[in-house]
Structure 1
Amino acid sequence: MAEEKYKTLEVVEKNPKSGVFHLYLNRPRQRNALTHDFFTEFPKALYALDHNRDVNVIVLSGAGDHFCSGIDISQLKSITQSYHDAGESLRRQILAMQDSVTALERCQKPVIASIHGACIGGAIDIVTACDLRYCTEDAFFSVKEVDLALAADLGTLQRLPLIVGYGNAMELALTARWFSGSEAKQLGLVSRAFPSKDDLDQAVSVLAQEIAAKSPLAIMGTKTVLLKSRDLTVDQGLDFVATMNSARLLSSDLTEAVAAQLQKRKPVFSKL
C-alpha cells in the first residue's frame, strides 16, 4: 500500500514482506528537531503503520547524523509567544504534544528505537515511550529541559524512572548532564550499545526480523500486558492477562506454532 508523504517523517520498507517497517525522523539538516508538523504527523504515521497488516515491527530512527536534538527552539519560542498569559490554552497544547508521544504506546505493534548521535530533551520523551532501545556507544543523551527553565513534560519524568530507576532519573533530570551511549547501557536506558552505526543498524535489523517472524497476536498481546501491568497490582495484572489469553488461546496462531514445532518447520502466522 502507498504510504502517505510527510514533511517531518519518512516510512521505508527496506525488505519487502519482512514485516519490518522503518520510520525515520526526517529533518536531517535540523538534526531532526521536533516541530509542530512533527507532533501532528507522528501519531498519524503510527496509526497508519499500526493498521497496516503488512507491518509487524516498527524501527524508529533518525535520518542523517543524529537521532533527534529535541524540540526546535523556534517552535518553543512560537508556543510561548502564542500562548502568553493563556495558561489553559498552553496546557491543552502540552496535552496534545504528550498524546503524540503516547501514540508510541497506543500503537499495538512493537516499536524499536535505534539511536545514534544526539538524543536530547524531547527525544528522551520519545525513546522512553518506545518498547526497545538500542544505540551506538558514541551516541549522546541529555534530559535537557531544566536548562531551558522547564520541567520535562512529554513523558520523560513519568517513564524514565521505570526504566533506569528513580535515583538515576532524578540525577539525570536535575543536572541535564550529557551522558554517552555506553553509560546509557550501564543505566539500562538501552539494551545494548554498539561500536558503530553500521553495527547498530545490522543488529537492530536482525532483531526486528526475529520479532516480526513471531506470532503478531502474541507480540501485540505481550506489549499490551506489560504496559497495562505497569499501572496495576500483581493480582490485577494476572487477572488481566488471564482474561486476555482466555480468548486468544483459541487462536489459529497457537495451533500453527505447536504444529510447526512438531514438524520442525517455520510457522506461518495470520496477519493482523
Structure 2
Amino acid sequence: METEKYKTLEIVQKNPKSSVFYLYLNRPSQRNALSPDFFTEFPKALYALDHNPQVNVIVLSGAGHHFCSGIDLASLNSIFKDHSSGDRGRSGEKLRRHILGMQDAITAIERCRKPVIASIHGACIGGGVDIITACDIRFCTKDAIFSVKEVDLAITADLGTLQRLPSIVGYGNAIELALTARRFSGLEAKELSLVSRVFDSKHELDEAVRDVAEAMASKSPLAVIGTKAVLIKSRDLTVDQGLDYVATRNSATLLSDDLKEAVSAHTQKRKPAFAKL
C-alpha cells in the first residue's frame, strides 16, 4: 500500500485483498482544479502505482462532486507572470519547457504499464479532458458535463486533447468540440464514443467500474500490460510495423508461467491464479 501523502491526490486500496487501487484527484473544494502541485505529484503517484506489485489496475476518479474542472485559474495567472517579462526568446524557451513538463505529467498515464480506468462524474472540463483522453477506459454518469474549454480562455489546448481526442471521437467531432468549447453531457459523450459506457447514477457507475476493474485485475498481468503497450504503440505504426512490434514483444513474454497457468486452469475448469508482476 502506497503511504506517501499528496497535496492534490489520494491513493486508496478499498479492499485489502484486491489488486485494484483508486487514485483520486483530491481538491474537492476547488472542484479538483489542476494546481502546479498536481503536475509534480501525478506522475510520481502513477510511477509508484506502476511499480507496486500489489497493483494490477488503477481507477482514476475525482473526490467530491466533480471529476475535474480544468486547470486552476490561479496557476494560469502565475504562468503568465512568470513568463511574460524579460527577454522574449528566453521567456518563450522557459515557457516551452514548462508546457512540456505539464504534458509529460498527463502522458504518465500512458507510460504507466497498468491499465487506468477513468470514472467520471460531475464536471470534466479542459484539463480534465486532457486527462481522460490519455486513460485506457472511460466510463461516466449520464449527467456528467464535458467541455474542451481552452479556446474560451484564449488558449490552444496543449496537454494532449488535440492529439488524442481525434482518434477517439473522429476528427470532425474533435474539431467541432475544440473550436466551440461547448458543453456536452455524458449521454452525448457515449454517442461520440468518448466513453464506453454511461450510467444513470454515481452509485451505478462506481459498481460497474469496480466490477470491470476487478475482472481485469484477475487476468494475466503480463497479458494485460502487453495489450496496453501494443495498442498505444500501434497508434503510430503501420499495420505491418505493429505486427512486427507485437511479434518481437511476444517472443520475449509469451512463454511465461502465466500461459502455463491459464492453460492449466482452463483444462481443470478453475480460476487461474497469477503471480504478482
Same fold (TM over 0.5): yes
User: Is residue 2:252 matched to residue 1:247?
Assistant: yes
- CA displacement 1:95-131 (0-9 Å, x = unmatched): 0000000000000000000000000000000000000
1:19-168 correspondence to structure 2 within 5 Å: 19-84=19-84, 85=88, 86-168=91-173
Alignment of 1:135-214 (within 5 A): 135-214=140-219
Give the SS at the match of 2:65.
coil
TM-score, length-normalised on structure 1? Answer: 0.99
Is residue 268 from structure 1 mapped to residue 273 from structure 2 by the alignment? yes
Tell me the secondary structure at the aligned position of residue 32 of structure 1. Answer: coil
Distance 1:20 1:124 in 2: 23
1:13 partnered with 2:18: no
Contact 1:17 1:54 in 2 (8 A): no
CA distance in 1 between partners of 2:92 and 2:129 (Å): 25
- Alignment match, 1:226: 231
Q: Are the aligned partners of 2:25 and 2:63 in contact in 1 as well (CA < 8 Å)?
A: yes
Letter matched to residue 116 of structure 2 = V
The structural deviation recorded for 1:17 is: 2.2
Cα RMSD for the two superposed structures: 0.6
Distance 1:153 1:80 in 2: 15
Normalised to the residue count of structure 2, the TM-score between the two structures is: 0.97
With 110-119 and 240-249 compared, the bigger mean Cα shift is at: 240-249
CA–CA separation in structure 2 for the residues paired with 1:73 and 1:166: 29
Say whether the 8 Å CA contact 1:56–1:216 is kept in structure 2: yes
Q: Which amino acid aligns with 1:60?
A: L
Output the amino acid matched with 2:23: L
**Residue 71 of structure 2 contacts residue 126 of structure 2 at CA under 8 Å; is this kept in 1?**
yes
Q: Percent identity?
A: 74
1:246 Cα deviation from its structure 2 partner: 1.2
Map Cα deviations across residues 211-267 of structure 1 (whole Å, 9 max, x no partner).
000000000000000000000000000000011111211100000000000001110
Question: One-letter code of the match for 1:106?
Answer: R
- Could you tell me which runs of 5 or more consecutive residues in structure 1 were left unpaired when the two chains were aligned: none
In 1, the alpha carbon distance for the partners of 2:12 and 2:273 equals 24
Matched positions, count: 272
SS at match of 2:40: helix
